[in-house]
Amino acid sequence: MRKSLGERIGQAGVYIVLSAAGLLCLLPLVHIASMSLSSLQAVSAGKVTLYPVDFSFSAYRQLFEGTSIVNAFVNSVVITVVGVALSMLFTILAAYPLTRSYFWGRQAFTMGIVFTMLFGGGLIPTYLTVRNLGLIDSYWALWLPGLVSVFNLLVLRSFMQNIPEEVDDAARIDGCGEWRYLLRIVLPLSTPVLATLALFYGVGYWNSFFNVLMYINTPDKYNIAVLVQQMIQSQMMLAQMSTSSSSENLVLSPDMVNSAAIIVMVLPMLVVYPFLQKHFVKGVMIGAVKG
């Protein structure tokens, strides 16, 4: 059906607004990347805007040689990979039974799960529970308390409920058991929503900041988000000391090193997202059709 002139104008207006919003989100990241790839003289003179001036990798060189960012990066990878694997496993095991009509009390279990989404124990009781379980200064303190997201669980449950009952009936006739039905039929059909939830969990674990500060006491176990925050604080103090003493001992501008650290922290998610983007919209929309 051919669109009217008004519909085409409205669609063009939507595209323009969304493109402008996308640029507003992208420009700060481009500016930070440009600062990390520019020379000290260009950054100090304020010449860097949206493209590098006097292209240089000196900020990254100092970042990797003078900080423990490699160790923090490895810690972030461990936290994210193990956390996503555990969260996806238990989200699947919790969502699938709630879709079975013969599961007695599934509505009560669902309401109990939703209740935890609306009401929590609070920060202090949570910390005391983690401490009494002996999880302080352990990555398990990051994985166990938030092992399953209620929102993600409900999205996956809704998606699985949309699988036609005829598929279930055909599998049962062929002698398919619960585990085989879940692994060979339900999960392959749920690939879009599983990829979406894995992205949600991955971003959450990768950006873990407050929980790491609260539960992890050993600096060698810090992830990259905490390390970047500490670098920004220490570099700001170093810059203030340098300014007050009129010293020229700084090899690079603190903004350059901080920008390089931010790019290193953001880059993995930027690399992973395009591979999951094709499943992202489909997974969220289909998973939200039926409550």
CATH of residue 263: 1.10.3720.10
Longest dimension (CA), the chain: 82
Give the pLDDT score at 236: 55
Nearest to 78 by CA among 271, 279, 268, 276: 268
pLDDT of residue 42: 82
For residues 134 and 258, state if they share a domain: yes
Tell me the average pLDDT across 193-198.
88
Query: Could you tell me if 33 and 164 lie in one domain?
Result: no
Looking at the structure, tell me whether residues 125 and 240 fall in a common domain.
yes
276 class by beta-carbon count within 10 Å (0-12 exposed, 13-18 middle, 19+ buried): middle
184, 175 Cβ separation under 8 angstroms: no
Q: Which amino acid is at 83?
A: G
Least confident of 106-120, 174-188, 222-236, 270-284: 270-284
Same domain, yes or no: 50 and 62: no
Domain identity same for 131 and 203: yes
Same domain assignment for residues 218 and 140? yes
Residues 150, 111: Cα–Cα separation, whole Å? 11
Same domain, 37 and 126: no
List of long-range contacts for 236-239, beta carbons under 8 Å, 24+ apart: none
Domain that holds residue 45: 1-56
Q: Is residue 56 pLDDT above 90, yes or no?
A: no
In this predicted model, what pLDDT tens digit does every residue of 143-160 receive, in sequence order? 998 899 999 998 899 888
Q: In this structure, what are the phi and psi dihedrals at residue 104, rounded to the nearest 5 degrees?
A: -70, 130
Last residue of a domain, one of 56, 83, 98: 56
* Stretch 194-212: mean pLDDT: 90
Q: Whole-angstrom Cα distance, residue 149 to residue 87? A: 8
Average pLDDT, whole number, for the chain?
82
182 has pLDDT over 80? yes
Q: Single out the residue in 9, 39, 56 at which a domain terminates.
A: 56
Mean pLDDT confidence for 57-62: 84
Residue 290 has pLDDT above 80, yes or no: no
| Whether residue 82 is found in the same domain as residue 203 | yes
* Region 242-269 average pLDDT: 69
Query: What are the pLDDT digits (tens) for 81-119?
Result: 999 999 999 999 999 998 887 888 888 888 888 888 888
**C-alpha to C-alpha distance for 113 and 33, rounded to whole angstroms:** 42
pLDDT at residue 61 tops 80: yes
pLDDT tier for residue 142 given thresholds of 50, 70 and 90: very high
- Pair 16, 70 in one domain: no
207 and 232 fall within a common domain: yes
Q: What percentage of residues in the chain have a pLDDT greater than 70?
A: 88
DSSP string, 215-259: H---GGG--HHHHHHHHHHHHHHHHHHHHHHT----SS-HHHHHH
Residue-wise DSSP of 123-165: HHHHHHHHHHTT-TTSTHHHHSTTSS-HHHHHHHHHHHHTS-H
Do 204 and 235 fall within a single domain? yes
Burial of 122 (0-12, 13-18, 19+ CB in 10 A): exposed
Backbone angles phi, psi at 254, to 5 degrees: -55, -35
Half-sphere exposure of 111 (CA within 13 A, CB side): 3
Q: pTM of the prediction? A: 0.81
Last residue in a domain, options 56, 83, 101: 56
Domain count, the chain: 2
Task: Give the model's confidence band at 31: pLDDT under 50 very low, under 70 low, under 90 confident, else very high.
Answer: confident
Looking at residue 54, what is its pLDDT? Answer: 82
pLDDT band at 77 (very low <50, low <70, confident <90, very high): very high
Considering just the CA atoms, what is the radius of gyration of the chain in Å?
24
Amino acid, res. 208: S
In a shared domain, residues 77 and 31: no
